[in-house]
Amino acid sequence: MATATKASASSLSAFVAGSLDLTFGTGGKVLTNFYGYGSRFRDIGYDVVLQPDGKLVVAGRVASTWINADFGLVRYNSDGSIDTTFGWGGTVITDFDSGGSTAYSIALQPIGKLVVAGNAGQFA
């Protein structure tokens, strides 16, 4: 599951630094189950980017088995709901090989495109 939390830029003055925006998701948190297995295979979000329209994109690893993991992205609307116009139902999964792949970083280019970096392949 990917986890996202958000503090609204427009209402930061109403929050104590580091507090959750309780209007985002449920109690300020969102959990997204990519493959339908729950936490069984340990989907993990490693980085997040805030887009100018207030949407959040989380990058990380999503696992379909104990061994195989893929790059995973999910985009949330400003209220924490999944943006179903992004990718396939709000998520993008990229499988580079038959081993483990993890997206560790995401950046937003000035032209609005996302750049995702990580690793792919098995280590000896």
Q: Is the pLDDT of residue 19 over 50?
A: yes
CA distance 46 to 103: 7
- Name the DSSP class of 124: -
Among residues 89, 105, 106, 104, the alpha carbon closest in space to that of 35 is found at: 89
pLDDT tens for each residue of 49-59 = 999 999 999 99
| Stated pTM of the model | 0.79
pLDDT of the residue at 104: 94
CA distance 76 to 57: 6
